[in-house]
Chain A
C-alpha cells in the first residue's frame, strides 16, 4: 500500500531519460578517426610486409584484403554511431553519461556518491584543446564514468563544480 503513494511521486520525479544530453565536442571525432587510422595503418604495413616476405600468404591476398576492408568499414560505422550516441549531462544532483553503438549504456552517478574527479589530457587532445573528465565512485571500476571530448576550459569548470559538490559533504561523510 505504501508504494502506491510513491507511484504518484515517481511519475512526478524528474526523468533522467528526458534530459537533453550534450554531445561530445566535434573535434573529438578527429581523435577517433586518427586512432582508427593509426591502428589500421599499422595493420596494413604489417600485412604488406607479410605478403612481401612470406610467399605462402600470396594466394590469400584477396580474402585478406576483403576482410581488412570489411572490418575497417565496420569499425568506422560503429565509431560514427557510437560518437553520435554519446552524450553527457551534469544535472543539479547527478551526472549522466550515455555511450555505446550496439548496446547503449546510460550511467548515472549521484554527486553525493562521488569519491573524486580527474581530468585527463592525451597528447592529441591537448593539441585540439580537449580533455576527458573521469568521475570515480566506490562502486568499482565498472561504475566509473569517463567523459571524453570536452572542451578543456569546460572540463576544468566541471571539475571545480563537482569538487564543490563533493567537498561540503565530505566533512559529514567521515565519522
Chain B
C-alpha cells in the first residue's frame, strides 16, 4: 500500500463512520435547543412519528457523511510542491498548501477513530488560523508515510538556512522517547492539582442534579419539601459534613480520572529539531513543539507537588496572528508530572539553557492595598449595598461574607508574598500565584511590545505595572517601583533592538 500520493485518493472507506460521527455531533450541537424542547414535550407526540423523524434524520446524516467521504480527496502535487485537498458537497473547495509553508503535521486518534482503527492527520500552516487541513480517517502506515513526505518538503526549505539542520539526522536515530511520564506521576498529579477546576465542574454538576431533584419533588405532588420534617440540627450537621467530605472525595476522583484519561502514557520524543509529545487514554494526541516557536514556558506547582517533586509545564507557542489571549491559553500545551530532572531537561531543550534567577524585583506593598480594594472592599461593598438597599433576600447569605473575606485575604497575602520578577541577561522570570505557584519564563528577544501602566494617584508613590506582550500571551508584573521598571524596560528594549535572534 505504499505511498504513491501523487494520485488523488479518498480516505479509508471505514472513515465514513468517523464522518457520520462528526456530522452527527455537528447537527446535534446546532440543534440542541430544539432537541431539549422536544424531549420535554415527548409525551405529547405520537411515538411512531418521533421514531420516523429520528430515523430520517439519522439517514440524512448518513447520506451527508457518505457524500462528504466521496468528495474528500487529497494528493501531493510534486510539480508545484503542494499538498492539495479537495472537499465539499455543494460548495466545492480546493485547498493547496505549499510544502514549505507546513509548520507541523499531527497524527491524532479520537475514541471513535481508535475503535475502527484509523487516525486523523492534521496539517498546520504558518498562515492564518482557518487554513489548516485535517484528514479525518487514514490508516496509520499511510498517515506516517504521508507525514514524512509532507515534512520532508518542509524540512528541505527549512534546512537551507537553519542552524539546527545537523540535529535532524541525529534526531532520526534516537527515536525512542527520552522522557516518559509514569502512571504514578500522573496519579500524584491528579490528586494534587487543579482542585479549583474540578470543584467548579462538580459544583455545576451538583447544582444541575439538585435543581432536577427539586423539580421532581415538586412534580410528584408534595405540598412542601418532605425533607423539612426530618431535619434537626444534629442531622443537619452530619449531613453537611457528609456533603463536604463527599465533595472533597469526588473532586479528587474527578481530578484523578481526568488527568489519567487525558495524559495516560505521556511520551516525549526528540524529532526533527522539535519535541513530539504523544498522550491520551481514549483520544491519542500527538503534538510537535518547535523550540523556536515557543514563546512562554510556565512551570507551576503547589505545596503538595513540591513535596512530591512534581512540576506542571505549560508551553505557549506562537499561534496565528489574530489569536487573542484566551485562545492562546487554551492552546497551551501541558506536560504534567515532570520531576526536577525532567523539568530541567525540557527547559534546556526549549530555552537552550536552564534559566537562572538573577536580580530580583519585589512588588510594592501598595499591591496589597490595590488587591484588597479589588477583591475585598468593592465586592463586599456591593453585596451590602444590594443586601440593604435593593434585594434584601440575599441577606440570608451574609454568613458567607466573613468566609469569603478570610479566604480572599489569605489568597491576597500569599499572592503578594509569591509575586516576584527575576531578570538576567537571557531570561525574564515572573513568579506568581497564591496556592499554585507559577514561574513564567520568557527570553527577551521574544518580546513584541512593552507597555507600562500607571494610575494618576500612583505617580506620587512611583509605582506602576509593566506588561510584556509576546506572540504566545502576555506577562504583567506590578505594582512595583516605577523607576526600576523603567530601567528594565530600557534594558529590554535595547536587547530586543540589538538582537539578531528571531522571535519565531
A residues in contact (CB < 8 Å) with B: 2-3, 6, 9-11, 13-17, 93-94, 100, 102-113, 115, 136-145, 172-173, 175
**Minimum CB distance partner of A1 in chain B:** B358
Can you spell out 29 A-B residue pairs with CB atoms less than 8 angstroms apart? A2-B424, A3-B358, A3-B424, A6-B491, A10-B488, A10-B490, A13-B491, A13-B494, A16-B489, A16-B490, A102-B455, A103-B454, A106-B451, A107-B450, A108-B451, A110-B447, A113-B448, A113-B449, A113-B496, A137-B448, A137-B449, A138-B321, A138-B471, A139-B469, A140-B323, A143-B449, A143-B469, A172-B502, A175-B158
CB distance from B481 to the nearest CB of A (A): 13
Q: Given A6-B425, A13-B491, A110-B497, are A105 and B451 also a contact pair (CB < 8 Å)?
A: yes
Distance in angstroms from B102 CB to nearest chain A CB is: 14
Q: Does B456 contact A (CB under 8 A)?
A: yes
Chain B interface, number of residues (Cβ within 8 angstroms): 44
- A112-B496 contact given A105-B451, A139-B448, CB 8 Å threshold: yes
Report the Cα distance A124→B43, complex, angstroms.
Answer: 62
A10 contacts across to B, CB distance below 8 A: 487-488, 490-491
A144 to B322, CA, bound (A): 11
Question: Which of B358, B425, B469, B504 has the largest count of A CB atoms less than 10 A from its CB?
Answer: B469
Complex interface: chain A residues within 8 A of B158 (CB): 175
Please determine whether B490 and A139 come into contact, CB atoms closer than 8 angstroms: no
B380 at the binding interface (Cβ < 8 Å): no
**Nearest A-chain residue to B158, judged by Cβ:** A175
Q: How far is the CB of A88 from chain B (nearest CB, A)?
A: 14
Contacts of B425 in A (CB 8 A): 2-3, 6
- What A residues does B490 contact at CB under 8 A? 10, 13-16
Interface residues of B (CB under 8 A from A): 158, 160-162, 318, 321-325, 328, 358-359, 423-425, 447-456, 469-471, 473-474, 486-491, 493-494, 496-497, 502-504
When distances are taken between beta carbons in the complex, the residues of chain B under 8 Å from A17 are 486
Q: Which of A2, A6, A139, A173 contacts B471 (CB 8 A)?
A: A139
CB distance from B259 to the nearest CB of A (A): 30
Q: Whole-angstrom distance from the CB of A18 to the nearest CB of chain B?
A: 10
Question: Which residues in A have their C-beta under 8 angstroms from that of B321?
Answer: 115, 136, 138
Known A-B contacts A13-B491, A141-B324, A142-B325; the reply to A103 vs B448 at CB < 8 A is no
Q: How close is A133's CB to chain B, nearest CB, in angstroms?
A: 15
Do A93 and B454 have beta carbons less than 8 Å apart? no
Rounded to whole angstroms, the CA-CA distance of A107 and B474 in the bound complex is: 14
Residues of chain B contacted by A9 (CB below 8 angstroms)? 491
Min CB gap B492→A, angstroms: 9
> In the complex, which residue of chain A has the Cβ closest to the Cβ of B426?
A2
Q: Is B474 within 8 A of A105, CB to CB?
A: no
In the bound assembly, the distance between CA atoms of A115 and B126 in angstroms comes to 14
Is B452 a contact partner of A103 (Cβ separation < 8 A)? no
Evaluate contact between B452 and A105: CB separation under 8 angstroms.
Answer: yes
A117 to B321, CA, bound (A): 14
If the complex has contacts A10-B487, A138-B318, are A143 and B451 also in contact, measured as CB distance less than 8 A? Answer: yes
Option from A6, A108, A138, A175 in Cβ contact (under 8 Å) with B493: A108
Give the 4 A-B CB pairs with smallest separation, nearest first: A139-B448, A139-B469, A143-B469, A143-B449
Chain A residues whose C-beta falls within 8 Å of the C-beta of B503 in the assembled complex: 113, 138
What residues on B are CB-neighbors of A14 within 8 Å?
490, 494
**Contact present for A103 and B456 (CB under 8 Å):** yes
Residues on A with C-beta less than 8 A from B450 are: 107-108
Chain A nearest Cβ from B217, distance in angstroms: 41
Contacts of A142 in B (CB 8 A): 325, 469, 474
Cross-chain contact B486 with A139 (CB below 8 angstroms): no
Neighbouring A residues of B494 by C-beta, 8 Å: 13-14
In the complex, chain B residues whose CB is within 8 Å of the CB of A138: 318, 321, 448, 471, 503-504
The minimal Cβ–Cβ distance linking A17 to chain B, given in whole angstroms, is 5
List chain B residues, Cβ under 8 A from A115. Answer: 321
> B448, A175: Cβ atoms under 8 Å?
no
Separation of A105 and B504 alpha carbons in the complex (Å) = 27
Contact of B359 among A3, A113, A137, A144 (CB under 8 A): A3
Q: What distance in Å separates the Cβ of B188 from its nearest Cβ neighbour in chain A?
A: 35
Task: Kindly state the separation between the CA atoms of A21 and B138 in the bound complex, as whole angstroms.
Answer: 59
B496 touches A110 (CB 8 A): yes
Closest A residue to B292 by CB, please name it: A175
A122 to B101, CA, bound (A): 36
Report the minimal beta-carbon distance from A142 to chain B, rounded to whole angstroms.
7
Would you call A137 and B454 a contact (CB within 8 A)? no
Whether B486 lies near A109 (C-beta < 8 A) is no
Contacts of A94 in B (CB 8 A): 493, 497
Complex alpha-carbon distance, A84 and B160, angstroms = 52
- Residues of chain A contacted by B473 (CB below 8 angstroms): 140
Instruction: Report Cα–Cα, A108/B469, bound state, in Å.
Output: 10
- A16-B486, A137-B448 are known; give 6 further A-B pairs, CB within 8 A: A13-B490, A15-B486, A103-B454, A104-B455, A104-B456, A175-B502
CA distance A105 to B449 in the complex (A): 12
Task: Using known A-B contacts A2-B424, A3-B424, A15-B486, determine if residue A109 contacts B454 with beta carbons closer than 8 Å.
Answer: no
Partner of A175, one of B162, B447, B449, B469: B162
Known: A109-B448, A110-B496. A140 touches B474 (CB 8 A): yes
The interface residues of chain A lying within 8 Å CB-to-CB of B448 are 109, 113, 137-139, 143
What is the bound-complex CA distance between A112 and B43, given in angstroms? 67
Residues of B within 8 A of A172 (CB): 502
| B325 and A140 within 8 A (CB) | yes
Please give, as numbers and ranges, the residues of chain A lying within 8 Å of B323 by CB-CB distance: 140
Establish whether residues A102 and B456, one from each chain, have CB atoms under 8 Å apart when the complex forms. yes
**Chain B nearest CB, measured from A26 CB (Å):** 23
Q: Which of B324, B456, B469, B502 contacts A137 (CB 8 A)?
A: B469
